[in-house]
Structure 1
Amino acid sequence: MNTTIVSAMAAADAFLCVLVVIAACDYLRRVRPIDQPMLSVAFYLVAIGAFGSFLGAMQSQLVSPFGVMVHAGIVLYAWARRGHVFKVA
């Protein structure tokens, strides 16, 4: 692949990873783990995995286009469900 394309994908993946970590941490800030333990564990795993992927992208590891698509999907899901997360009970 062209080095410019690989660099652009690495930058996009790093940016998406940061957005995923922010979304997961914001969700975890608003939810009590006692009320929804499985969902909380899932978001902890997503946040940890995205942070690890961000570190890998910063160390110039090869970025998979499918990894970028996964991170973009998670960001779109978080954006679409933001009304549900921020709903005041």
Structure 2
Amino acid sequence: MSTFLISALTAADVFLCVLVVIAACDYLRRVRPIDEPLLSIAFYLVAIGAFGSFVTTMQGQLVNPFGVILHGGVVAYAWARRGHVFEVKG
């Protein structure tokens, strides 16, 4: 792959990892672990995985294009379902 493509994938992956961590932490702030333990565990795993991917990318490891697609999918899902998590349950 060309240097430009690798740099673009790295920049996109770093940006998406930060968005995934922010979205997961925001969900964790809104969801009570006692009420929805599986959802909370899933968000913790996503936040830890995205942060780990961010750290390894910043250390200069090569970016997997499929990882970038995966992070983009998680961000798209979080954006599309943001109303579901933030709705008031009564």
Separation in structure 1 between the aligned mates of residue 10 and residue 57 of structure 2, nearest angstrom:
6
2:79: which partner in 1?
Answer: 79
Task: Give per-residue Cα distances to partners, 1:36-70, cap 9 Å, x unaligned.
Answer: 11110011000000000001111110101100000
1:18: which partner in 2?
Answer: 18
Residue 32 (str. 1) matches residue 32 (str. 2): yes
Letter in 2 for 1:39: L
Unaligned runs of 5+ in 2: none
Separation in structure 2 between the aligned mates of residue 41 and residue 13 of structure 1, nearest angstrom:
23
**What TM-score, normalized to structure 2?**
0.96
Unaligned runs of 5+ in 1: none
Runs of 4+ in 1 over 2 A off after TM superposition: none
Letter in 1 for 2:72: A
1:51: which partner in 2?
Answer: 51
CA-atom RMSD, angstroms? 0.6
- % identity of equivalent residues: 75
Task: Give per-residue Cα distances to partners, 1:6-63, cap 9 Å, x unaligned.
Answer: 0110010000000000000000000110101111001100000000000111111010
2:70: which partner in 1?
Answer: 70
**What TM-score, normalized to structure 1?**
0.97
